[in-house]
Structure 1
Amino acid sequence: MFPSNSVSVSCFDEIVKTNSVTIPSYLGRLILRTHHEDDTANLALVFSDSFSRRHLSFLQPPNGWGDERERNNNKQWTEQDFLDRVKVQTEARTNGKSCVLNIVLLATASNEKNDRCIGTTGFVKIDGNTGYLGIITHRDTTRMGYATEALYTTIVFAFEKLGINKIVMYTDEKNEEMRGWCEKTAGLKLFGKNPMEINGYAFTECEYQFNLDEWNHSIKKTLEFKMNKINTNEKLSLISTEQ
Protein backbone atom coordinates (compact mmCIF):
# COMPACT_ATOMS: atom_id res chain seq x y z
CA MET A 1 0.00 0.00 0.00
CA PHE A 2 1.21 3.50 -0.79
CA PRO A 3 2.37 5.44 2.28
CA SER A 4 -0.36 7.67 3.70
CA ASN A 5 1.92 10.15 5.48
CA SER A 6 4.98 12.07 4.35
CA VAL A 7 7.90 11.98 6.79
CA SER A 8 10.89 14.24 6.25
CA VAL A 9 14.39 12.85 6.65
CA SER A 10 17.51 14.89 7.38
CA CYS A 11 19.55 13.67 4.43
CA PHE A 12 19.43 11.84 1.11
CA ASP A 13 18.87 8.13 1.80
CA GLU A 14 22.19 6.33 1.17
CA ILE A 15 20.41 3.27 -0.26
CA VAL A 16 18.73 5.41 -2.92
CA LYS A 17 22.07 6.85 -3.99
CA THR A 18 23.46 3.58 -5.34
CA ASN A 19 20.57 1.13 -5.73
CA SER A 20 17.75 0.66 -8.19
CA VAL A 21 14.44 2.17 -7.08
CA THR A 22 10.89 1.12 -7.97
CA ILE A 23 7.89 2.93 -6.48
CA PRO A 24 4.20 2.06 -6.96
CA SER A 25 1.95 5.04 -7.64
CA TYR A 26 -1.03 6.17 -5.58
CA LEU A 27 -3.65 4.67 -7.91
CA GLY A 28 -1.50 1.73 -8.96
CA ARG A 29 -1.63 2.59 -12.65
CA LEU A 30 2.07 3.48 -12.78
CA ILE A 31 5.40 2.63 -11.32
CA LEU A 32 8.27 5.06 -11.07
CA ARG A 33 11.73 3.56 -11.36
CA THR A 34 15.36 4.36 -11.94
CA HIS A 35 16.42 3.75 -15.52
CA HIS A 36 16.03 0.32 -17.13
CA GLU A 37 17.60 -0.55 -20.46
CA ASP A 38 14.11 -1.33 -21.80
CA ASP A 39 13.11 2.31 -21.23
CA THR A 40 15.76 3.86 -23.46
CA ALA A 41 14.07 3.67 -26.87
CA ASN A 42 10.75 5.03 -25.64
CA LEU A 43 12.39 7.91 -23.81
CA ALA A 44 14.51 8.87 -26.82
CA LEU A 45 11.22 9.16 -28.73
CA VAL A 46 9.58 11.25 -26.01
CA PHE A 47 12.54 13.64 -25.84
CA SER A 48 12.54 13.92 -29.65
CA ASP A 49 8.81 14.56 -29.97
CA SER A 50 8.05 18.17 -30.84
CA PHE A 51 4.75 18.09 -28.92
CA SER A 52 6.16 16.60 -25.70
CA ARG A 53 9.05 19.07 -25.55
CA ARG A 54 7.35 22.09 -27.09
CA HIS A 55 7.96 24.08 -23.90
CA LEU A 56 11.35 22.47 -23.28
CA SER A 57 13.14 23.56 -26.42
CA PHE A 58 16.31 24.20 -24.40
CA LEU A 59 16.68 20.48 -23.62
CA GLN A 60 19.64 18.94 -25.37
CA PRO A 61 21.90 15.92 -24.84
CA PRO A 62 24.83 16.27 -22.40
CA ASN A 63 27.26 16.36 -25.32
CA GLY A 64 25.16 18.82 -27.32
CA TRP A 65 23.89 18.27 -30.84
CA GLY A 66 27.24 18.47 -32.62
CA ASP A 67 28.05 20.68 -35.58
CA GLU A 68 26.51 18.45 -38.24
CA ARG A 69 23.23 18.02 -36.38
CA GLU A 70 23.10 21.77 -35.70
CA ARG A 71 23.66 22.53 -39.39
CA ASN A 72 20.96 20.09 -40.45
CA ASN A 73 18.65 21.13 -37.59
CA ASN A 74 18.44 17.43 -36.73
CA LYS A 75 17.63 17.83 -33.06
CA GLN A 76 16.34 14.33 -32.50
CA TRP A 77 17.51 12.40 -29.46
CA THR A 78 19.26 9.10 -30.18
CA GLU A 79 19.29 6.24 -27.71
CA GLN A 80 22.96 7.03 -27.02
CA ASP A 81 22.03 10.65 -26.27
CA PHE A 82 19.60 9.47 -23.66
CA LEU A 83 22.05 6.97 -22.16
CA ASP A 84 24.54 9.84 -21.85
CA ARG A 85 21.88 11.76 -19.93
CA VAL A 86 21.21 8.77 -17.67
CA LYS A 87 24.94 8.49 -16.93
CA VAL A 88 25.08 12.13 -15.83
CA GLN A 89 21.96 11.75 -13.69
CA THR A 90 23.17 8.51 -12.11
CA GLU A 91 26.45 10.14 -11.08
CA ALA A 92 24.53 13.07 -9.60
CA ARG A 93 22.24 10.69 -7.68
CA THR A 94 25.29 8.97 -6.23
CA ASN A 95 26.27 12.36 -4.79
CA GLY A 96 22.76 13.13 -3.55
CA LYS A 97 22.35 15.91 -6.12
CA SER A 98 19.63 14.43 -8.36
CA CYS A 99 16.97 11.74 -8.52
CA VAL A 100 15.19 11.26 -11.84
CA LEU A 101 12.66 8.46 -12.25
CA ASN A 102 11.10 6.94 -15.34
CA ILE A 103 7.30 6.77 -15.50
CA VAL A 104 6.06 3.33 -16.51
CA LEU A 105 2.42 2.81 -17.45
CA LEU A 106 1.35 -0.67 -16.36
CA ALA A 107 -0.40 -2.90 -18.89
CA THR A 108 -2.95 -3.84 -16.23
CA ALA A 109 -4.11 -0.21 -16.18
CA SER A 110 -3.84 0.62 -19.88
CA ASN A 111 -5.04 -2.64 -21.46
CA GLU A 112 -1.92 -2.53 -23.61
CA LYS A 113 0.01 -5.74 -24.21
CA ASN A 114 3.07 -4.67 -22.22
CA ASP A 115 4.12 -2.13 -19.63
CA ARG A 116 5.38 1.03 -21.35
CA CYS A 117 7.72 3.81 -20.30
CA ILE A 118 5.88 7.08 -21.01
CA GLY A 119 8.23 9.73 -19.65
CA THR A 120 10.35 10.93 -16.76
CA THR A 121 9.82 12.94 -13.61
CA GLY A 122 11.77 13.74 -10.48
CA PHE A 123 14.58 16.06 -9.55
CA VAL A 124 17.27 16.89 -12.10
CA LYS A 125 18.78 19.08 -9.40
CA ILE A 126 18.79 18.80 -5.60
CA ASP A 127 20.49 21.62 -3.74
CA GLY A 128 20.65 20.95 0.00
CA ASN A 129 17.08 20.49 1.17
CA THR A 130 15.55 21.97 -2.01
CA GLY A 131 14.51 19.82 -4.96
CA TYR A 132 13.71 21.13 -8.44
CA LEU A 133 10.84 19.06 -9.80
CA GLY A 134 9.94 18.50 -13.45
CA ILE A 135 8.12 16.11 -15.75
CA ILE A 136 7.90 15.19 -19.45
CA THR A 137 5.50 12.59 -20.86
CA HIS A 138 4.48 11.06 -24.16
CA ARG A 139 1.84 12.97 -26.11
CA ASP A 140 -0.67 10.08 -26.04
CA THR A 141 -0.86 10.04 -22.23
CA THR A 142 -2.07 13.59 -21.59
CA ARG A 143 -5.35 14.43 -19.83
CA MET A 144 -5.58 11.02 -18.17
CA GLY A 145 -4.32 12.01 -14.74
CA TYR A 146 -0.99 10.22 -15.17
CA ALA A 147 1.03 13.39 -14.60
CA THR A 148 -0.76 14.06 -11.31
CA GLU A 149 -0.24 10.47 -10.22
CA ALA A 150 3.45 10.55 -11.15
CA LEU A 151 4.13 13.94 -9.56
CA TYR A 152 2.31 13.03 -6.35
CA THR A 153 4.33 9.81 -6.09
CA THR A 154 7.58 11.67 -6.69
CA ILE A 155 6.78 14.32 -4.09
CA VAL A 156 5.98 11.78 -1.38
CA PHE A 157 9.19 9.90 -2.18
CA ALA A 158 11.19 13.13 -2.05
CA PHE A 159 9.94 14.10 1.38
CA GLU A 160 10.50 10.57 2.71
CA LYS A 161 13.79 9.58 1.11
CA LEU A 162 15.65 12.50 -0.44
CA GLY A 163 16.14 14.86 2.49
CA ILE A 164 14.00 17.47 0.75
CA ASN A 165 11.67 19.83 2.60
CA LYS A 166 11.11 22.40 -0.16
CA ILE A 167 10.14 21.75 -3.77
CA VAL A 168 10.47 24.24 -6.63
CA MET A 169 8.81 23.86 -10.02
CA TYR A 170 9.73 25.99 -13.04
CA THR A 171 7.80 26.21 -16.28
CA ASP A 172 7.62 28.38 -19.38
CA GLU A 173 5.03 31.16 -19.06
CA LYS A 174 3.51 29.87 -22.31
CA ASN A 175 3.08 26.35 -20.89
CA GLU A 176 -0.60 26.65 -20.02
CA GLU A 177 -0.94 22.95 -19.20
CA MET A 178 1.82 22.94 -16.57
CA ARG A 179 0.81 26.30 -15.13
CA GLY A 180 -2.75 24.99 -14.96
CA TRP A 181 -1.58 21.91 -13.08
CA CYS A 182 0.37 24.01 -10.57
CA GLU A 183 -2.35 26.60 -9.99
CA LYS A 184 -5.62 24.71 -10.52
CA THR A 185 -4.81 21.07 -9.81
CA ALA A 186 -2.32 21.49 -6.96
CA GLY A 187 -3.47 24.91 -5.77
CA LEU A 188 -0.02 26.52 -5.87
CA LYS A 189 0.49 30.26 -6.05
CA LEU A 190 2.81 31.83 -8.59
CA PHE A 191 5.99 32.73 -6.71
CA GLY A 192 7.60 34.82 -9.43
CA LYS A 193 8.54 35.31 -13.08
CA ASN A 194 12.05 35.61 -14.46
CA PRO A 195 13.47 36.13 -17.97
CA MET A 196 15.68 33.17 -18.89
CA GLU A 197 17.94 32.01 -21.70
CA ILE A 198 19.13 28.40 -21.82
CA ASN A 199 21.05 26.94 -24.77
CA GLY A 200 20.06 29.93 -26.87
CA TYR A 201 16.35 29.62 -26.06
CA ALA A 202 14.84 32.71 -24.44
CA PHE A 203 11.62 32.50 -22.43
CA THR A 204 9.87 33.77 -19.29
CA GLU A 205 10.16 31.30 -16.45
CA CYS A 206 7.32 30.95 -13.92
CA GLU A 207 8.29 29.68 -10.48
CA TYR A 208 6.14 27.74 -8.02
CA GLN A 209 7.31 26.40 -4.69
CA PHE A 210 6.01 24.71 -1.54
CA ASN A 211 7.43 23.15 1.61
CA LEU A 212 6.61 20.05 3.64
CA ASP A 213 4.21 21.87 5.96
CA GLU A 214 2.24 23.28 3.01
CA TRP A 215 2.20 19.84 1.44
CA ASN A 216 0.80 18.17 4.55
CA HIS A 217 -1.61 21.00 5.29
CA SER A 218 -3.39 21.18 1.95
CA ILE A 219 -1.63 20.18 -1.29
CA LYS A 220 -1.40 16.46 -0.54
CA LYS A 221 -5.12 16.22 0.27
CA THR A 222 -6.04 18.27 -2.79
CA LEU A 223 -4.17 15.91 -5.13
CA GLU A 224 -5.51 12.80 -3.40
CA PHE A 225 -9.06 14.10 -3.77
CA LYS A 226 -8.55 14.64 -7.50
CA MET A 227 -6.90 11.24 -8.00
CA ASN A 228 -9.69 9.49 -6.11
CA LYS A 229 -12.14 11.25 -8.40
CA ILE A 230 -10.24 9.91 -11.42
CA ASN A 231 -10.37 6.41 -9.91
CA THR A 232 -14.12 6.66 -9.29
CA ASN A 233 -14.80 7.87 -12.82
CA GLU A 234 -12.74 5.01 -14.28
CA LYS A 235 -14.71 2.45 -12.25
CA LEU A 236 -18.01 3.97 -13.34
CA SER A 237 -16.84 3.92 -16.96
CA LEU A 238 -15.89 0.25 -16.63
CA ILE A 239 -19.29 -0.65 -15.15
CA SER A 240 -21.03 1.22 -17.97
CA THR A 241 -18.96 -0.64 -20.57
CA GLU A 242 -19.72 -4.04 -19.05
CA GLN A 243 -23.48 -3.48 -18.94
Structure 2
Amino acid sequence: MDSSKSGFDESVKTNSVSIPSYLGRLRLRTHHDDDTASCASIFSDPFSRKHLLFLQPPNGWKNAEQQWTVEDFTDRVNVQKATRANGKSCVLNIILLASISGEETDRCIGTTGFVTIDNDIGYLGIISDHKTTRLGYATEALYTSIVFAFEKLGVKKIIMQTDELNEEMRGWCENTAGFKLDSKKPKELNGYSFIQYEYMFTLDEWNDSIKTRLEEKMNKIYKK
Protein backbone atom coordinates (compact mmCIF):
# COMPACT_ATOMS: atom_id res chain seq x y z
CA MET A 1 0.00 0.00 0.00
CA ASP A 2 1.33 3.41 -0.99
CA SER A 3 0.80 5.48 2.16
CA SER A 4 2.21 8.56 0.43
CA LYS A 5 -1.03 9.06 -1.51
CA SER A 6 -3.32 11.73 -0.13
CA GLY A 7 -6.72 13.14 -0.91
CA PHE A 8 -9.95 11.64 -2.19
CA ASP A 9 -9.32 10.07 -5.62
CA GLU A 10 -11.10 12.26 -8.19
CA SER A 11 -12.15 9.25 -10.26
CA VAL A 12 -14.13 7.86 -7.31
CA LYS A 13 -16.24 10.99 -6.97
CA THR A 14 -18.38 10.41 -10.05
CA ASN A 15 -17.40 7.05 -11.55
CA SER A 16 -18.86 3.69 -10.58
CA VAL A 17 -16.75 1.68 -8.14
CA SER A 18 -16.47 -2.11 -8.10
CA ILE A 19 -13.94 -3.89 -5.88
CA PRO A 20 -13.30 -7.64 -5.49
CA SER A 21 -13.06 -8.70 -1.87
CA TYR A 22 -10.04 -10.30 -0.22
CA LEU A 23 -11.31 -13.88 -0.53
CA GLY A 24 -13.20 -13.25 -3.77
CA ARG A 25 -16.58 -14.22 -2.31
CA LEU A 26 -17.96 -10.70 -2.50
CA ARG A 27 -17.82 -7.60 -4.61
CA LEU A 28 -18.22 -4.12 -3.14
CA ARG A 29 -19.76 -1.64 -5.53
CA THR A 30 -21.52 1.68 -5.74
CA HIS A 31 -25.28 1.37 -5.93
CA HIS A 32 -27.07 -0.29 -8.83
CA ASP A 33 -30.81 0.22 -9.29
CA ASP A 34 -31.44 -3.49 -8.93
CA ASP A 35 -29.91 -3.37 -5.42
CA THR A 36 -32.59 -1.00 -4.15
CA ALA A 37 -35.29 -3.46 -3.16
CA SER A 38 -32.81 -5.67 -1.29
CA CYS A 39 -31.37 -2.68 0.57
CA ALA A 40 -34.81 -1.38 1.55
CA SER A 41 -35.69 -4.83 2.89
CA ILE A 42 -32.47 -5.08 4.92
CA PHE A 43 -32.90 -1.58 6.35
CA SER A 44 -36.45 -2.51 7.38
CA ASP A 45 -35.55 -5.85 8.94
CA PRO A 46 -35.78 -5.66 12.76
CA PHE A 47 -32.88 -8.07 13.25
CA SER A 48 -30.52 -6.34 10.81
CA ARG A 49 -31.17 -2.88 12.25
CA LYS A 50 -31.64 -3.89 15.88
CA HIS A 51 -28.86 -1.54 17.00
CA LEU A 52 -29.38 1.03 14.24
CA LEU A 53 -32.82 2.30 15.16
CA PHE A 54 -31.67 5.88 14.62
CA LEU A 55 -31.34 5.24 10.87
CA GLN A 56 -34.12 7.13 9.11
CA PRO A 57 -34.77 8.07 5.47
CA PRO A 58 -33.42 11.51 4.45
CA ASN A 59 -36.94 12.83 3.83
CA GLY A 60 -38.58 11.20 6.83
CA TRP A 61 -40.79 8.16 7.14
CA LYS A 62 -43.41 7.64 4.45
CA ASN A 63 -45.42 5.14 6.50
CA ALA A 64 -46.56 4.70 10.08
CA GLU A 65 -44.81 1.32 10.34
CA GLN A 66 -41.42 3.01 9.82
CA GLN A 67 -40.44 0.57 7.10
CA TRP A 68 -37.97 1.63 4.42
CA THR A 69 -39.57 1.83 0.99
CA VAL A 70 -37.83 1.70 -2.37
CA GLU A 71 -38.41 5.47 -2.57
CA ASP A 72 -36.82 5.96 0.85
CA PHE A 73 -33.69 4.11 -0.17
CA THR A 74 -33.55 5.94 -3.48
CA ASP A 75 -33.55 9.20 -1.50
CA ARG A 76 -30.64 7.87 0.57
CA VAL A 77 -28.68 6.87 -2.54
CA ASN A 78 -29.17 10.32 -4.05
CA VAL A 79 -27.81 11.96 -0.89
CA GLN A 80 -24.83 9.62 -0.91
CA LYS A 81 -24.09 10.35 -4.58
CA ALA A 82 -23.96 14.07 -3.79
CA THR A 83 -21.68 13.67 -0.78
CA ARG A 84 -19.40 11.26 -2.68
CA ALA A 85 -19.11 13.82 -5.48
CA ASN A 86 -17.79 16.23 -2.84
CA GLY A 87 -15.37 13.69 -1.37
CA LYS A 88 -17.39 13.46 1.84
CA SER A 89 -18.58 9.84 1.72
CA CYS A 90 -18.22 6.55 -0.10
CA VAL A 91 -20.85 3.91 0.63
CA LEU A 92 -20.64 0.55 -1.12
CA ASN A 93 -23.12 -2.27 -1.47
CA ILE A 94 -22.02 -5.78 -0.51
CA ILE A 95 -22.69 -8.21 -3.36
CA LEU A 96 -22.61 -11.93 -2.64
CA LEU A 97 -21.44 -13.71 -5.79
CA ALA A 98 -23.68 -16.46 -7.15
CA SER A 99 -20.59 -18.59 -7.81
CA ILE A 100 -20.11 -18.73 -4.02
CA SER A 101 -23.69 -18.84 -2.77
CA GLY A 102 -25.01 -21.30 -5.35
CA GLU A 103 -27.90 -18.94 -6.06
CA GLU A 104 -28.99 -18.10 -9.59
CA THR A 105 -27.71 -14.53 -9.52
CA ASP A 106 -25.43 -12.25 -7.53
CA ARG A 107 -27.29 -10.68 -4.62
CA CYS A 108 -26.96 -7.53 -2.53
CA ILE A 109 -26.66 -8.53 1.14
CA GLY A 110 -25.99 -5.13 2.72
CA THR A 111 -23.99 -1.93 2.66
CA THR A 112 -20.67 -0.87 4.13
CA GLY A 113 -18.13 1.90 3.68
CA PHE A 114 -18.07 5.48 4.83
CA VAL A 115 -21.27 7.49 5.27
CA THR A 116 -19.08 10.36 6.49
CA ILE A 117 -15.54 11.37 5.56
CA ASP A 118 -14.30 14.41 7.45
CA ASN A 119 -10.97 15.58 6.05
CA ASP A 120 -8.76 12.51 6.55
CA ILE A 121 -11.06 10.72 9.02
CA GLY A 122 -13.46 8.09 7.72
CA TYR A 123 -16.43 6.80 9.72
CA LEU A 124 -16.86 3.13 8.84
CA GLY A 125 -20.10 1.20 9.22
CA ILE A 126 -21.93 -1.87 8.01
CA ILE A 127 -25.46 -3.28 7.88
CA SER A 128 -26.18 -6.66 6.38
CA ASP A 129 -28.84 -9.29 5.91
CA HIS A 130 -28.99 -11.13 9.23
CA LYS A 131 -29.39 -14.43 7.35
CA THR A 132 -25.80 -14.06 6.09
CA THR A 133 -24.14 -13.51 9.47
CA ARG A 134 -21.47 -15.78 10.99
CA LEU A 135 -20.12 -16.68 7.55
CA GLY A 136 -17.27 -14.18 7.58
CA TYR A 137 -18.81 -11.87 5.02
CA ALA A 138 -18.73 -8.86 7.36
CA THR A 139 -15.01 -9.30 8.04
CA GLU A 140 -14.33 -9.63 4.32
CA ALA A 141 -16.44 -6.58 3.44
CA LEU A 142 -14.99 -4.38 6.19
CA TYR A 143 -11.42 -5.37 5.36
CA THR A 144 -12.01 -4.52 1.69
CA SER A 145 -13.57 -1.17 2.61
CA ILE A 146 -10.63 -0.27 4.83
CA VAL A 147 -8.02 -1.06 2.18
CA PHE A 148 -9.97 0.97 -0.38
CA ALA A 149 -10.28 3.91 2.02
CA PHE A 150 -6.57 4.10 2.74
CA GLU A 151 -5.65 3.72 -0.93
CA LYS A 152 -8.35 5.82 -2.65
CA LEU A 153 -10.25 8.03 -0.21
CA GLY A 154 -7.45 10.02 1.42
CA VAL A 155 -8.32 8.55 4.80
CA LYS A 156 -5.58 8.37 7.45
CA LYS A 157 -7.72 7.47 10.45
CA ILE A 158 -10.83 5.29 10.67
CA ILE A 159 -13.51 5.37 13.35
CA MET A 160 -16.19 2.76 13.97
CA GLN A 161 -19.12 3.68 16.21
CA THR A 162 -21.56 1.22 17.74
CA ASP A 163 -24.20 0.90 20.42
CA GLU A 164 -22.97 -0.35 23.79
CA LEU A 165 -25.62 -3.08 23.54
CA ASN A 166 -24.32 -4.31 20.19
CA GLU A 167 -22.13 -7.01 21.68
CA GLU A 168 -21.52 -8.68 18.32
CA MET A 169 -20.03 -5.56 16.73
CA ARG A 170 -18.10 -4.64 19.86
CA GLY A 171 -16.71 -8.16 19.93
CA TRP A 172 -15.67 -7.92 16.30
CA CYS A 173 -13.91 -4.59 16.90
CA GLU A 174 -12.13 -5.69 20.07
CA ASN A 175 -11.46 -9.39 19.54
CA THR A 176 -11.41 -9.99 15.79
CA ALA A 177 -9.84 -6.75 14.59
CA GLY A 178 -8.05 -5.63 17.73
CA PHE A 179 -9.24 -2.02 17.55
CA LYS A 180 -8.76 0.14 20.60
CA LEU A 181 -11.71 1.72 22.37
CA ASP A 182 -11.26 5.46 22.00
CA SER A 183 -14.35 6.70 23.88
CA LYS A 184 -17.81 5.86 25.13
CA LYS A 185 -20.44 8.50 25.68
CA PRO A 186 -24.22 9.08 25.75
CA LYS A 187 -25.68 9.79 22.32
CA GLU A 188 -29.11 10.74 20.99
CA LEU A 189 -30.01 10.50 17.30
CA ASN A 190 -33.51 10.91 15.89
CA GLY A 191 -35.02 10.36 19.33
CA TYR A 192 -33.03 7.19 20.04
CA SER A 193 -30.76 7.30 23.09
CA PHE A 194 -27.83 4.94 23.59
CA ILE A 195 -24.25 4.72 24.81
CA GLN A 196 -21.96 5.06 21.81
CA TYR A 197 -18.70 3.12 21.77
CA GLU A 198 -16.11 4.57 19.41
CA TYR A 199 -13.16 2.56 18.10
CA MET A 200 -10.32 4.28 16.27
CA PHE A 201 -7.22 3.22 14.36
CA THR A 202 -4.72 4.95 12.12
CA LEU A 203 -3.06 3.98 8.87
CA ASP A 204 0.13 3.15 10.78
CA GLU A 205 -1.75 0.90 13.20
CA TRP A 206 -3.43 -0.79 10.26
CA ASN A 207 -0.12 -1.51 8.58
CA ASP A 208 1.60 -2.50 11.83
CA SER A 209 -0.83 -5.17 13.00
CA ILE A 210 -4.54 -4.92 12.17
CA LYS A 211 -4.27 -5.72 8.46
CA THR A 212 -2.28 -8.89 9.09
CA ARG A 213 -4.56 -9.88 11.96
CA LEU A 214 -7.66 -9.74 9.75
CA GLU A 215 -5.93 -11.53 6.89
CA GLU A 216 -4.88 -14.35 9.21
CA LYS A 217 -8.44 -14.57 10.52
CA MET A 218 -9.93 -14.81 7.03
CA ASN A 219 -7.32 -17.25 5.75
CA LYS A 220 -7.77 -19.52 8.76
CA ILE A 221 -11.55 -19.70 8.93
CA TYR A 222 -12.93 -18.52 5.64
CA LYS A 223 -10.27 -19.63 3.17
CA LYS A 224 -11.55 -20.44 -0.32
Structure 1 gap segments, 5+ residues each: 236-243
Please say if residues 136 and 222 of structure 2, whose CA atoms lie closer than 8 Å, have aligned partners that are also in contact.
no
Q: Under a length normalisation based on structure 2, what TM-score does the superposition of the two structures give?
A: 0.98
1:240 paired residue number: none
Q: 1:38 aligns with which of 28, 34, 40?
A: 34
Structure 2 gap segments, 5+ residues each: none
Q: 1:104 aligns with which of 95, 112, 127?
A: 95
Please say if residues 8 and 164 of structure 1, whose CA atoms lie closer than 8 Å, have aligned partners that are also in contact.
no
Q: How big is the shift at 1:10?
A: 1.2
1:241 paired residue number: none
2:217 paired residue number: 226
Structure 1 residues 75 and 172, CA gap change in structure 2 (3 angstroms): same
2:126 paired residue number: 135
2:153 paired residue number: 162
2:23 paired residue number: 27
Please say if residues 180 and 201 of structure 2, whose CA atoms lie closer than 8 Å, have aligned partners that are also in contact.
no
Structure 2 Cα separation of the partners of residues 116 and 230 of structure 1: 23
1:207 paired residue number: 198
For residues 102-159 of structure 1, the C-alpha deviation after alignment (integer angstroms, 9 at most, x for no partner) is 0000011111111000000000000000000000000111000000000000000000
SS of the equivalent of 1:144 reads coil
Structure 1 Cα separation of the partners of residues 99 and 190 of structure 2: 40
Please say if residues 6 and 216 of structure 1, whose CA atoms lie closer than 8 Å, have aligned partners that are also in contact.
no
1:175 paired residue number: 166
Q: CA RMSD in A?
A: 1.0
Structure 2 Cα separation of the partners of residues 230 and 13 of structure 1: 33
Q: How big is the shift at 1:230?
A: 2.2
Asked if residue 54 in structure 1 is aligned to residue 50 in structure 2, the reply is yes
For residues 70-117 of structure 1, the C-alpha deviation after alignment (integer angstroms, 9 at most, x for no partner) is xx3x11000010000000000000000000000000011111111000
For residues 4-48 of structure 1, the C-alpha deviation after alignment (integer angstroms, 9 at most, x for no partner) is x36352100000001000000000000000000110000000000
Structure 1 residues 76 and 25, CA gap change in structure 2 (3 angstroms): same
SS of the equivalent of 2:201 reads strand
Q: Under a length normalisation based on structure 1, what TM-score does the superposition of the two structures give?
A: 0.90
SS of the equivalent of 1:155 reads helix
Structure 1 residues 222 and 187, CA gap change in structure 2 (3 angstroms): same
Q: 1:13 aligns with which of 9, 19, 33?
A: 9
Structure 2 Cα separation of the partners of residues 154 and 7 of structure 1: 16
Structure 1 residues 182 and 8, CA gap change in structure 2 (3 angstroms): farther
Please say if residues 54 and 189 of structure 2, whose CA atoms lie closer than 8 Å, have aligned partners that are also in contact.
yes
2:110 paired residue number: 119
Please say if residues 9 and 164 of structure 1, whose CA atoms lie closer than 8 Å, have aligned partners that are also in contact.
no
Structure 1 Cα separation of the partners of residues 92 and 40 of structure 2: 15
Asked if residue 216 in structure 1 is aligned to residue 207 in structure 2, the reply is yes
The AA in structure 1 aligned to 2:111 is: T
